[in-house]
Amino acid sequence: MEYQEAKDKFISTWGSLGSLWGINKAMAQIQALLFISTKPLSMEDIMEELKISRGNTSMNLRQLMDWGIVTKEIIPGERKEYFTTEKDVQELARIVAKERSRREIKPVIKILKDVSSIKDDGTEKTKELIKQTKALHELTDTMDTMINKVVNQQQKWLTKSLLKLFK
C-alpha cells in the first residue's frame, strides 16, 4: 500500500469511527487529516484534501475547537488561519473522554436524579420507577466519577489506569 492509499484509508476509517465519540464524519475526517499532517493546515488545504465545502469545513473546525481538540496556529507572515490538532494519542483520548462526560453523561445524570426524586404516591409503578432510575443514577454517577478520576490524571493516564486495573 502506498502513502496516498494508506492516508485515504486512515482518514476514511477515522471518519467512520467519529460517531463512536459523538461527532460527525466530516468532523472526524478533518481531525484525522490534521492528526497525520506534518504541519498546520489552512481551511483551504483541508477543503481541497477532503473535498468538502467551505461551510462544512468552517463549521466542523469550530466544533473541533469547542471540543478542545483543534487549535488555531499563527504562522508569521501568513494571512490565512492555520489549524493543528493534539498529536499525543493519550491526551487526545483524555480530551474526548472529558468532553463526552460534560456533553452527554452529566445531562443524563441530572435527568436520572430528577426522575428518581419524584414524589412517591405509593403505587407499585411509581415505586418501580423510583427504584430503577435511582439505581441507574447511582451507577451512572459512579462511572462518571471513575472516568473523571482517570481523565484528570496527567500524562499517560490511560496506561497508568489500565496497569492499576490489572494489578
Average pLDDT of the residues in 149-154: 70
Whether 32 and 54 share a structural domain: yes
pLDDT value at residue 43: 95
User: Could you read off the pLDDT of 26-65 as tens digits, one per residue?
Assistant: 999 999 999 999 999 999 999 999 999 999 999 999 999 9
Whether 8 and 81 share a structural domain: yes
Q: Could you say which of 85, 102, 134 is where a domain stops?
A: 85
State yes or no: pLDDT of 156 exceeds 80. Answer: no
Q: Are 72 and 65 in contact (CB under 8 A)?
A: yes
Whether 7 and 77 share a structural domain: yes
Whether 77 and 116 share a structural domain: no
What stretches of 13-69 adopt beta strand conformation (E)? 41-42
| CA 146 from centroid of its chain's CA atoms | 17
Sign, Cα dihedral of 39, 3, 23, 54: positive
CATH number of the structural domain spanning residue 40: 1.10.10.10
Host domain of residue 93: 89-166
Average pLDDT of the residues in 113-140: 92
Whether 71 and 58 share a structural domain: yes
Whether 102 and 76 share a structural domain: no
pTM over 0.95: no
Element (H, E) at 71: strand 70-73
Q: Are 16 and 27 in contact (CB under 8 A)?
A: no
Give phi and psi for 51, each to the nearest 5. 60, 50
Whether 19 and 61 share a structural domain: yes
Q: Could you say which of 85, 110, 139 is where a domain stops?
A: 85
Q: Which residues of 148-158 are buried (b: 16+ CB within 10 A; e: fewer)?
A: bebbeeeeebb
SS3 of residue 83 by DSSP: strand
In the chain, the number of structural domains is 2
